[in-house]
A and B are shown apart, each in its own frame.
Chain A
Amino acid sequence: MSFLQVNNLEVTFNLRNNPLKALQSISFDLERGERLGIVGESGAGKSVVAFAILNLISRPGKITAGEVLLDGQDLSKLSSKEMRKIRGNKVAMIFQDPMMTLNPVFTIGDQMIECLKAHRKISKANAKKIAVQKLKQVQIPSPETRIDQYPHELSGGMKQRIIIAIALLMDPALIIADEPTTALDVTIQAEIMELLLELCESNHVALILITHDLGVVSHVTQKTIVMYAGRIIEQGPTNEIINDAQHPYTQGLINALPQQTLPGEKLNQIRGTMPSLQDIPTGCAFNPRCDFILDVCTQLRPAFTQSGGCSVACHMVQAMKDAEKGQDAYE
């Protein structure tokens, strides 16, 4: 039994006249200490997955099917009171924008101590001791003075470090990081990613990293999920996905990176844009943008095919696998 198991998760937003399925049949699992990356364009539903795991989907959204099993306990069925014991305790979340996540009217220390006192019976002095120690862990210089400062006195990179420190306060078993470095500069981004990686490794914490930067995914995570229009279209070991992507969309995403073409050459773009969730094309959702379209692509939604360590939802890959099998049988 995996540490985190997501089975057939479906999230629906009940808009005024029609229900909108933001996520459909999302299934994956994660072991303790394992790192998973979720990639896709904006609007693919990456962040909704993160919010759904923590049961943070607010109205008019709702988890309409499926389960999120953490150590065998279904988080999607828990009451908000029970859920509060999980959030920030067993599972912590790091959000995209460090300027928005910290409360501007409380000191760093207040915010850290509040979190500790909410989960444990602990004296203020002890809580402060733990807070200072965690700040040291995320390499904040002179944590004893920093702890009494307000968020506006710190730089963006520093704030994101503090958010990581807050996430680590209760020694969680899983951290969900939703684009943790998008709002930061290149040099700071590299530092923060390295820090996160180190801390996850040394504390044996599992990590779900949501990002649209395939470069970051490739050197932080072990497994990768590629999402498109609310569904998983490819998942498997990161190195296989980066080096030998099967799904045309994943290939497109990787080829669109400027590093993949010679300087001055035209970039390989994926034509068109992601469809709105209100009118997802029938068959494979990617078919209007796909270069390898077959007749069946516009009619039937592809099922997952196993290819190497990856499972891919694509008719073309399936057809190729079938052909290979046929050849093997013939020989």
Chain B
Amino acid sequence: MSNSKQSVVTENSNSAKQSILQVTSLHKRFDISGDFLDSLQFKGGKLCRKRKHVHAINGVSLEVYKGEALCVVGESGCGKSTVARTIMGLLKPSEGEICFKGQRIDNLSNSQMLPYRRKMQMIFQNPYASLNPRKTITETLEEPVKFHNPSFSSIQVKEKVAQVMLSVGVDPNWGIRFPHEFSGGQRQRISIARALTVEPEFIVADEPISALDVSIQAQVLNLMMDTQQERNLTYLFITHDLAVVEHFATRVAVMYLGTICELAVTKTLFSTPKHPYTQALMSAIPRLDGKNSSHIKLTGEVPTPINLPSGCVFHGRCPHANERCNREIPVLLHQSDGSQAACHAIEENRI
């Protein structure tokens, strides 16, 4: 297993890392000013219209290489899920470009998007909510197959579904049952099966194991790693569980308040976290040996994304912040060990 993993990595580096998805300076704002009358305000004797936005993503650029698992981590509200949904085309970006295999996909119409929907699939966080309670498992799984392969006969569809169900460890005879008859782990397997039925190349998984127990988490993670090898899948994996990230990810992107603050290969990130926020995040992982004395305490709370702080979004909580951090937004810079970090203090060699 470790050998084959190794070979995947070397293969990647040999073929100069074939990029499968490219996101360039992505922005997403949600308008929360309400309807027309709500947004009207008197200012200096004049009636003017003022709009309020939640700045969910502020200039995220990343690249996903074929065959890897890129994990996006961060606290809730940092825009991880918004990135996932925007990439999948469930939300329209306010600014920026998303390219899948060199083809721009963020400005496509629904019908133009169809061929890409087959290649990109999504697994959601809560298996209790993402399966239709009024459809049997077979119905749920057959629908995408029929939709994307109109030429398939009903026997072919059934065969395809049975094959996928077997591959995720769900007995095809259970297909006549409804979602409520399954446990959380089984439901998440079915969600994974649903994503796999159309043979995608790229899967976005939005916290797929957060709602599950430790032992079941292990089962689902193993399944995802197996299918990655069998089908040469690429994952964009969103989570806040750093222990899982360390285990699963090829590369990790750490997000804070809608921006990426550090992007590195997993091993590098965990051995030498550079950004002050990453360092704090790493020190907060509860370890079994109970040696958590080095926990870096962050002061304050995450600022609201409605009124973004000026300069570096993290400067209010950062122990190394200075006047420049307050003023200037840092950009992701390449570091000597191949990682990228957006921090003035690192750039100036202060930390």
Contacts and interface: CB of A to CB of B under 8 A. Distances in A.
B287 to A, nearest CB: 6
Contacts of A259: 243, 246-247, 287-288
Given A42-B213, A256-B214, A267 B285 contact: no
The contact size tier of chain B is 35 or more
Contacts of B217: 256
Interface stretch (A82-90, A143-151, A187-195, A290-298): A187-195
A62 interface: no
B264 interface: no
A61 interface: no
A81 interface: no
B290 A186 contact: no
Interface stretch (B93-101, B292-300, B319-327): B292-300
A312 interface: no
A41 B75 contact: no
Contacts of B133: none
Contact of B243 (A156, A257, A268): A257
Given A264-B5, A266-B222, A189 B284 contact: yes
B285 A269 contact: no
B280 to A, nearest CB: 6
A268 B218 contact: yes
Interface residues of A, number: 44
A147 to B, nearest CB: 18
A99 interface: no
B316 interface: no
B218 A267 contact: yes
Contacts of B216: 41, 273
B76 A185 contact: yes
Interface string A199-238: 0000000000000111110110000000000000000000
Given A212-B213, A257-B214, A266-B225, A186 B288 contact: no
Interface string A254-288: 10111111111111111101000000000000000
A66 interface: no
Contacts of B283: 190
A215 B183 CA distance: 25
A253 interface: yes
A216 B243 CA distance: 13
Interface string B214-227: 11111101100100
A242 interface: yes
Contact of A269 (B1, B5, B215, B297): B215
Most buried by B among A242, A256, A265, A271: A256
Contacts of B298: 187
Contacts of A271: 219
Contacts of B248: 258, 263
A271 B292 CA distance: 31
A157 interface: yes
B185 interface: yes
Nearest to B289: A218
A155 B222 CA distance: 35
B267 interface: yes
B281 interface: yes
A215 B288 contact: yes
A257 B215 CA distance: 8
A258 B222 contact: no
A317 interface: no
Contact of B280 (A41, A187, A254): A187
A264 B244 CA distance: 10
Interface in A40-58: 41-42
B240 interface: yes
B266 interface: yes
A264 B266 CA distance: 11
B77 to A, nearest CB: 9
B286 interface: yes
B301 interface: yes
Nearest to A266: B222
Contacts of B5: 264
B110 interface: no
Contacts of A212: 213-214
B181 to A, nearest CB: 11
A215 B244 CA distance: 13
Interface string A21-42: 0000000000000000000011
Given A214-B214, A273-B216, A261 B242 contact: no
A157 B290 contact: no
Contacts of A188: 75
A237 B241 CA distance: 27
Given A253-B215, A264-B5, A187 B281 contact: yes
B2 interface: yes
Given A219-B287, A264-B247, A269-B219, 4 more contacts: A41-B213, A186-B241, A219-B292, A264-B1
* The 8 residue pairs across chains A and B that have the minimum distance between CB atoms: A215-B286, A219-B290, A258-B247, A190-B284, A269-B218, A267-B218, A256-B218, A185-B75
6 contacts: A187-B75, A190-B284, A190-B286, A254-B288, A261-B247, A269-B219
Interface of B: 1-2, 5, 75-76, 183-186, 213-219, 221-222, 225, 240-244, 246-248, 266-267, 280-281, 283-290, 292, 295, 297-298, 301-302
